Structure 1
Amino acid sequence: MRRRFFCVLVATGLMVLRFLSMVAVSPDRRYNAS
């Protein structure tokens, strides 16, 4: 059960990191475009 919980935790962490990276990159693209 611990292994399954760890896998879910890692998957969630990767999703959060991907979301944060998208949010952090989008403003840079806007500034560069303008």
Structure 2
Amino acid sequence: MEKDLAKIAPSNIQAEQMILGAILINNRELYNINEF
């Protein structure tokens, strides 16, 4: 079952890119995102 989970692609690549971009622009945002 663990192997099946490893094959699942991210469900929203655009959202992940936005989060990474926010962290690159302002790394303090990482603490806000980490709360989720």
Q: Rg: which structure is higher?
A: 1
What's the TM-score once normalised by structure 2's chain length? 0.41
Q: Give 1 or 2: higher helix fraction.
A: 1
Relative contact order, higher structure (CA 8 A, sep 6+): 2
